[in-house]
Structure 1
Amino acid sequence: MKKVQFKISGMTCTACAAAIERKVNQIDGVASAVINFSTENLVVTFQKELVSSEIIVKAIESLGYGAAPIDESPAPNKPRSKGQPEYQKQILEIRNRLIISLIFTIPLFYLAMGTMIGLPVPSFLAGPQNLLINALTQLFLTLPVIYLCRHFYYNGFKALAKRIPNMDSLVAVGTSASLIYGVVVLFILAYGFSYDNMDLIHHYSHELYFESAAVILVLITLGKYFETKAKGKTSQAIEKLIALAPESARVIRDNQEVEIPIEDVQLDDRVIIRPGDRIPVDGEILSGHSSVDESLLTGESIPIEKKIGDSVICGSINKTGAFEFRATKIGNDTTLSKIIQLVEEAQSSKAPIAKIADQISRYFVPIVMGISLLSFSVWMFLGYGLSFSLSIGISVLVISCPCALGLATPTAIMVGTGKGAEKGILFKNGPSLEILGKSDTIVFDKTGTLTVGAPSVTDVILYDDSISPQKLLTLTASLEQKSEHPLSEAIVNKALHNNLELVDATEFNAFPGMGIQGKIGDLMIFAGNPKLMEQENIALGSITEDYNRLSDMGKTPLIIAWNQELKGIIGVADTIKENSLQAITQLKAMGLNVHMLTGDNERTAMAIGKTVGIDNVVANVLPHEKSHHIKNLQLQGRQVIMVGDGINDAPALAQSNVGIAIGNGTDVAIESADIILMQNDLLNIVSAIQLSKATLRNIKQNLFWAFIYNVIGIPLAAGLLFIPFGLKLNPMFAAAAMSFSSVSVVLNALSLKAFKPKLNQKYTVKDNDAISEINFSLNRSDENIENNKKAGNKMKKVLKVDQMSCQHCVKRVEDTLNAIEGIDSVLVSLEKGEVTYEATNSVDDKVVIAALTDSGYPAAFL
């Protein structure tokens, strides 16, 4: 299957769009054709063996519309156009036509209506004797307006001839009837003057209707002007994204720094970035460091610290430092280009609820023309005369608005998907935006979704007060660096993160399924599970309780011993992501049934589930079995959301009603998903569901008002209330009502721009830190903690520290305190803005305060 986008020209209302959709869908080999009237884009999925772009273009042109494929194979690094958007050109064109039309319509309206309310008119046009000159003047003022708005007649009558009437057909027929009737009256007046028949002249002198034709055209043009302006605002999200890419880049060529157009940047080019620069392409930092603002791409408001080896994204803004990076993705392969493509495809897709409006729009115009003709005939039959009956028929034609129905869904989807993109939530299509808010069950993968996806040290428990946690971690990490086990990597990384100096171990030996041993200095150190300790005849003693407690929490306890004595336990676990518990709690408060699927063992799975508040946990699930569990839930009548990030999640993501992939997950998972979260924050799922519900609510409001408008307006225009109440709708007021019905629908869709996700404060919780990464916290019995406070005359102290805003601040505060001799066991809490540490009596409190203040973090003892 091949998917191609086409730019359509010549459409004037949603009836045109529906006709094009029907025509293209009838082509053999076309799987689907979806058109977005707001963006004038047609997305066609077809079998390239049976259909070509040329065949599709010819089919569209046979209906009288223009079509051109949107650059199917652009140049590798061709930048997206930043020129004046198409809708801006349309706005200027409509505005100019409106202004010139008003120049002729205002005096025309004055001449036609002024005498009725006693306003003065020029003497050569006043009085019964000048009625014919007055009528001719009105005709000559009407003709320029007819010419300026000739596209209504060209498109409308052409559509009628092809038996696909649209809104232009309604306008063309209605205003043509007014114009032709006015010309007929003009000849009747000439006949009356020729034969001095004053009764005839007086009878027809107020039935010209030239002003009705002109005013209807002007009002509809005014409505189109406001509608086009409003529709333009729905695509501002894409314009903002396109504007993110800079037009040039500084690269190293022939060992010199040169500035080149962005399209000339090649893969592996060395790109230079200075403070304030926008990053031109995706890449990997080679030298330097800085903080980078990625908020417009990911929705993350806090700048992210970048160092050598980190990736940078095209369109993000460099804040402070300077660095050099290697270009890894350029042109249409950059993250920014792919985001733009996803948003464009989502805005061009159609939500299931749109089918209601599509079906009605298909028959709407023919039915309205039938009602108009029937109304005219009934009033003629009742004896109300040609003028009255014609006025009724024209009113029915010009008050009917198929566009309000057709715009109800796509405009809301455009604004909703654009708002999602601003917040780092990418909807791939309209159906996913709609279905997400209707779903009642959500299923999470564990590893990499609820958890970080990599093991970290979570606990350091000491059983020998003569050693410090740093020493235990240093010796263990020195031994573990000889091992390739993932747990070993976590311990080594923790030691390096805390600037501990590792030493070489000798006589290293690994015991599969039990642990490792090695000699450091004079110490033969053992690190492993109880089986290894039993093998070495090391008594476990009272550690069993701590060991089982850590195991029950889903952690892997590593027992450390030397000299035939237990020295401590280091707990390692795949840590829970920040906000996981908060997100699960909020989802449950929204009424969703929450499940977790994992291939991990049941003990760990249950511990993780308990920590984040998930009761429905299924463990030991093989990758291909995940999709079966999703299917079973669907067979129970549930609408299922699947959240995952790995290759093994792809089948489940595809099977679910809506698949959500974490943005830093694998390409396969992202490809299989319907929604992509650019941030690694599960609270964005809550935001996405709320946005979906808000968009669906907006669509329903739009459809309701569009239906109500036509349901009330058409009978009123047909004269239903004339006999009982004497109420009759003037065609000019009908035209005004029609014009602003579409505008009101678009404006209501634009109200989605004010969307802000809200947490249910009643269910706001603090994350459970049972499996959270530590900063040398000592989790031990109360007795051991008390002993440690006394050992070496050390005291535990707590500081209140200001100005900390991120984990980088935490690291700086930690490094500052660890650099002061006599201080250890530093624990920094970013959430509380507090630091707990242990210090000997020799440490001056004033020195601690001064050191933190000099680092930019004012502090005070609690």
Structure 2
Amino acid sequence: MSETVLSSPRDAAQAASDTLVFDVSGMHCAACSARVERVLNAKPGIEAHVNLALERADVSVSGGQSADDIKAMIEKTGFGASLRQGSLSERQAQAEQVDEGREREERHSFYLFLFSALLTLPLVAPMVAHWFGAAWHMPPFVQFVLAAVVQVVVGARFYRGAASALSSGAANMDVLVAMGTSSAFLFSLYQIFALGENAVGHLYFEASAAILTLIVFGKWLEGRARRSAADALRALMGLRPREARLVSGDGAGDQMVPIEQVKTGDHVRVLPGEVVPVDGLILEGRSEFDEALLSGESEPVLHEEGEKVISGAVNGEGAVVLDVVALGDDTVLARIIRLVDQAQTGKAKMQNLADRISAVFVPIVIGLALLTFIVWLAMGGGFEAAVVAAVSVLVIACPCALGLATPTALVAGTGAAAKNGVLIRDIDVLEVAGKVTHVVFDKTGTLTEGKPSLVGINMLGASNDEAELVGAVAAVQSGSEHPLAKACVDAAKERGARMPQARGVTAHVGEGVEGTIDGKTVLIGTRAFLDRNGVDLAASEDAFAGMEQEGLSVSAVAMDGALVALLGFRDEVRAESRGAIKALKARGLKTVLLSGDAPETVRRVGEALGLDDVKGGVTPKQKLDYLTDLQQEGHVVAMVGDGLNDAPALAQADVGIAMGSGTDVAIGAAAITLMREDVGLVGAAFEIARHTYRKIWQNLFWAFVYNVIGIPLAALGLLNPAIAGAAMAFSSVSVVSNALLLRRWKA
């Protein structure tokens, strides 16, 4: 992977300072997360997003509330809260501690399930035997003892959760489970006292025990699946080395030191097989680096002296010495982690309906259970049948599936995308990406390599020296990040040209640059730029046309108002561009090329790639207007670019896609960043967005359908409470498992 910049460290730090991240423990269902979110958002100056799948709350604060205030508000709702703070490394360590705690909780749930299953199996064995025609019943008192142990030991977690929820004035899944199992257990106990040994056949101890056993088992499966959904982010965080091999300047040899002791400008050695601990330039050696987890590039990438390697890459067979240019929170890896984390904790618009339903779900279910009980009695169904139907309604209703439908799909989908080199920053594009009709491309650095070279110089002033001219042009452009400016600087270095000091340098985005050298005003840029500054171009039209006919990008150079030279640049088309355009057109998408380069040069590129529409000589404002016109016509537009001049169009587009090798501004304006210099990932970005969006809708559909079908069946007495409990336990597991299928996606 080439040098990649994802966002300004300063901007990222500023964004992080406005948002507090809390790990929230004790949330079991959508009603839990909805309650925390509702309580926090009710406070002026607070905007909170609570993610059930990740068990965390991201809280934006603008009203002066402290972290302790927010923590107290969360705890008041009955849940635990732990603030993530400090550097990215410190927050990573905190997240690892929380993760270890959740692993311990999973193990505890599994052991609790085994214990519960051993006690429950004897209770359900007679029911199974009855299915095969055997009439065998366990004595009522033995059933009571076994079920009582399960109810007290296994049910304790649900009673605690229910008490905590009710004490804060709300209700959650724990309330439903506690009410349902307690009703079945107490009714069975009443039957023993009322009927004695004749109570056999009228006891539901096996139902109360089976419900608790199956729900605990379901929660264990769900917890494992939820943690698996976040594997991509966990893998990225695991790439952050704790130590670096610092090269001593006094000849004392290398020394392993904590990464916190390394500073910019230090030299570190990376041996074969080691993970690169910093972003750095290779001073000595050459090697291939495995960057698969960072860019999705399956093949190792060769880097030599002078080239940049990034933290998290795994060194191959060669030892290298790096000059440290970035570390800690400023590395590319740290910024990738921030982007993935931001996407995974976001909330899709389609989750809003599920949130509104979750907020009132449990009270409605309790009301339906009570109504079921009353109707059964009124219709002459008998007290026992009324209790069984009401219990079935309580235990089959599941708010968990509603709460997990969207976040688990987002976590799995954005994680799979990141592993394949597609970073989704704005999750709202998941909905829009499937509706895109037009894909608009920039040329330089997007469809072409973005590494132009100066291949032709037309000296229009007989007295000008070519080396002197190249040195002056390079001096004016030495501070620019534009690819053509870099090509001029490289050309000056290759020719050994002297670069004088330039003063008053001013860049005009998408047009050119001006400055002063030895008292002379130097203008470098497009024809339109020089013409607007009063430079006479009439005598050079043939020279312009000739260079453009050769497929060169042409910049004009003027000194003190007189045109002195034309510079011709060649930028090769990316090898994968033709296939990428063909694939997009096969999807029925219109492809457009907009470039500030000369129309003839742009036309040649467009024809070579088979684009539907091509426009050259356009300014950043004209790019913006072109996109706006398409949108006003009802089209959904994606923009793909990498430069500063692409930023307005990237922000305006319905889906902005930036090349990862582009400028900070371009990446900051885009919703999606491609980590490899492979324009073929544009189609892959659309595909994973569409798959993720589809999974969200599938999960929401089944979560709603499950409750819409299951609750009426339970109310009609068509479901045994134990079967209802099993259905409830596995509804959320099925939603999470469906989302996890996204992890298999490959670009």
TM-score category, normalised to shorter length: 0.7 to 0.9
Matches within 5 A, 1:674-685: 674-685=671-682
Q: Secondary structure at the match of 2:579?
A: helix
Name 1:94's counterpart in structure 2.
109
Name 2:247's counterpart in structure 1.
252
Equivalent of 1:17 in 28, 33, 40: 33
Q: Judge conservation of contact 2:76–2:168 (CA < 8 Å) in 1.
A: no
CA distance in 1, matches of 2:541, 2:646: 38
Q: 1:421 to 1:741 in 2, by over 3 A?
A: same
Name 2:731's counterpart in structure 1.
741
| Seq. identity, % | 40
**What amino acid is aligned across from residue 43 of structure 2 in structure 1?**
I
Q: Secondary structure at the match of 2:428?
A: helix
Q: 1:70 to 1:435 in 2, by over 3 A?
A: farther
Equivalent of 1:53 in 41, 58, 67: 67
Q: Secondary structure at the match of 1:360?
A: helix
Matches within 5 A, 1:35-46: 35-46=50-61
Equivalent of 1:3 in 16, 19, 33: 19
Q: Please, what TM-score do these two structures have when normalized by structure 2?
A: 0.82
Name 2:229's counterpart in structure 1.
234
Shifted more, 250-259 versus 169-178: the winner is 250-259
Equivalent of 1:283 in 280, 285, 288: 280
Deviation string 1:91-147 (CA, Å, 9 cap, x unpaired) is 2121011111122222333467768978697xxx97xxxxxxx32322222222122
Matched, 1:431 2:428: yes
Deviation string 1:231-261 (CA, Å, 9 cap, x unpaired) is 1211111222122233432112343211123
Q: Judge conservation of contact 2:278–2:324 (CA < 8 Å) in 1.
A: yes
Deviation string 1:609-649 (CA, Å, 9 cap, x unpaired) is 33333343444443355444433333333333222222222
**What amino acid is aligned across from residue 51 of structure 2 in structure 1?**
N
Q: Judge conservation of contact 1:662–1:670 (CA < 8 Å) in 2.
A: yes
Matched, 1:710 2:713: no
Q: Pairwise CA RMSD of aligned residues?
A: 3.6
Q: Judge conservation of contact 1:78–1:263 (CA < 8 Å) in 2.
A: no
Name 2:321's counterpart in structure 1.
324
C-alpha displacement at 1:78, in angstroms? 7.6
Name 1:180's counterpart in structure 2.
186
CA distance in 2, matches of 1:503, 1:425: 41
C-alpha displacement at 1:450, in angstroms? 2.4
Name 2:156's counterpart in structure 1.
150
Name 1:729's counterpart in structure 2.
719
Q: 1:115 to 1:751 in 2, by over 3 A?
A: closer
CA distance in 2, matches of 1:628, 1:491: 31
C-alpha displacement at 1:312, in angstroms? 0.9
Name 2:144's counterpart in structure 1.
139
C-alpha displacement at 1:73, in angstroms? 4.8
Deviation string 1:295-316 (CA, Å, 9 cap, x unpaired) is 2211122322222221111111
Name 2:685's counterpart in structure 1.
688
CA distance in 2, matches of 1:628, 1:481: 35
**What amino acid is aligned across from residue 736 of structure 2 in structure 1?**
V
CA distance in 1, matches of 2:607, 2:64: 55
Q: 1:750 to 1:156 in 2, by over 3 A?
A: same
Deviation string 1:674-723 (CA, Å, 9 cap, x unpaired) is 2111111110111110111111122222222222222221221111xx6x
- Look at both structures and tell me which one has the larger radius of gyration over its CA atoms: 1
**What amino acid is aligned across from residue 452 of structure 1 in structure 2?**
E
Q: 1:434 to 1:252 in 2, by over 3 A?
A: same
Q: 1:482 to 1:220 in 2, by over 3 A?
A: closer
Structure 2 residue ranges without an equivalent (≥5): 1-14, 458-464, 475-482, 499-519, 525-536, 556-565
Q: 1:145 to 1:252 in 2, by over 3 A?
A: same
C-alpha displacement at 1:340, in angstroms? 1.6
C-alpha displacement at 1:349, in angstroms? 0.7
Q: Judge conservation of contact 1:80–1:242 (CA < 8 Å) in 2.
A: no
C-alpha displacement at 1:671, in angstroms? 1.9
Name 2:590's counterpart in structure 1.
593
Name 1:608's counterpart in structure 2.
605
C-alpha displacement at 1:657, in angstroms? 2.5
C-alpha displacement at 1:590, in angstroms? 1.6
Matched, 1:33 2:33: no
Q: Judge conservation of contact 2:155–2:178 (CA < 8 Å) in 1.
A: no
CA distance in 2, matches of 1:259, 1:373: 67
C-alpha displacement at 1:72, in angstroms? 4.8
Q: Judge conservation of contact 1:9–1:67 (CA < 8 Å) in 2.
A: yes
Deviation string 1:203-243 (CA, Å, 9 cap, x unpaired) is x3322222211110001111111111221211111222122
Matched, 1:218 2:213: yes
Structure 1 residue ranges without an equivalent (≥5): 127-133, 191-200, 461-475, 515-528, 535-543, 559-568, 723-727, 758-862
C-alpha displacement at 1:594, in angstroms? 2.8
C-alpha displacement at 1:481, in angstroms? 6.3
Name 2:661's counterpart in structure 1.
664
Matched, 1:164 2:170: yes
Q: Secondary structure at the match of 2:329?
A: helix
CA distance in 2, matches of 1:326, 1:76: 25
Name 1:388's counterpart in structure 2.
385
Q: 1:572 to 1:344 in 2, by over 3 A?
A: closer
Shifted more, 232-241 versus 573-582: the winner is 573-582
Q: Please, what TM-score do these two structures have when normalized by structure 1?
A: 0.71
**What amino acid is aligned across from residue 108 of structure 1 in structure 2?**
L
C-alpha displacement at 1:68, in angstroms? 2.2
Matched, 1:70 2:84: yes
CA distance in 1, matches of 2:90, 2:171: 43
Q: Judge conservation of contact 1:77–1:265 (CA < 8 Å) in 2.
A: no
Matches within 5 A, 1:177-576: 177-189=183-195, 202=198, 204-253=199-248, 254-255=250-251, 256-456=253-453, 484=473, 551-552=548-549, 554-556=551-553, 572-576=569-573
